[in-house]
Amino acid sequence: MVWSNSNDWDQLQPFWVLGSNSSDDLQYVYNYGTKLYANNGNNGSSMNGYVKGIARGEFKIQFKLGYSWGWSMFYMADQSLVNQSGSSTGPSVAAGTNGLRLMNNNSNNKLMIAKNVNGTVTDIRDSTGVSDSTLITIRRNSSNVVTCKVGSESLLTVGTFTNTFAFGCTIQSPASCELIMAMNINSAPS
């Protein structure tokens, strides 16, 4: 898969595009392409995908991370640095990229959120895991400030980024990630 500037990929859409190693009968994409689900036992095959589209400016994306034995991971990374080579470990984020990673599971009972700013990784949350019904929102406003909100908790400021972002998910069986919303926000004079 190659990112392009085509209209098909320019606008964020709440659908998964599958990465490599994501097509056996124990790994599913369902709810009209909005949910990835891997269920091949503890430490079974992983599954990965990309959110369709990229974010050049303001955006809002909402999702629910699975809360089961395996890690459910969602990431935001500079589009130019996302490795889409189809390696056996799935999509990965190159070192030094700006972005955000969220990981949740119940075997460790952890939700971990880390931001990466010019190669410096900082944990901004390492606490009790959240249920798979918890809505997580990542947003960039017109001032390029990126925030993250987990359920009804306080808003976390991630940083100020002008990057073009791509979004993805890698899940370790059993795990899931469900997209609720993914959209670019166009600000125009009224």
DSSP 1-45: -----SHHHHS-EEEEEE-SS--STTEEEETTTTEEEE-SSTT--
Q: How far apart are CA 81 and CA 161, in angstroms?
A: 15
Q: Average pLDDT for consecutive 10-residue bins of the chain (190 residues)?
A: 52 81 63 84 80 92 96 89 48 66 95 89 93 97 96 94 90 92 75
Beta bridge partners of 51: 16
Question: Could you give all domains of the chain from N- to C-terminal order, each with its CATH number?
Answer: 14-85+97-184 (2.60.120.200)
- Which pLDDT belongs to residue 128? 96
| Phi, psi torsion values for 159, nearest 5 degrees | 160, 180
Region label for 34, one of left (φ > 0), alpha (ψ between -120 and 50) or beta (otherwise): alpha
- Which pLDDT belongs to residue 1? 40
The first and second tokens of residue 34, run together, are: 């909005």
The first and second tokens of residue 150, run together, are: 């987990």
- Which pLDDT belongs to residue 20? 58
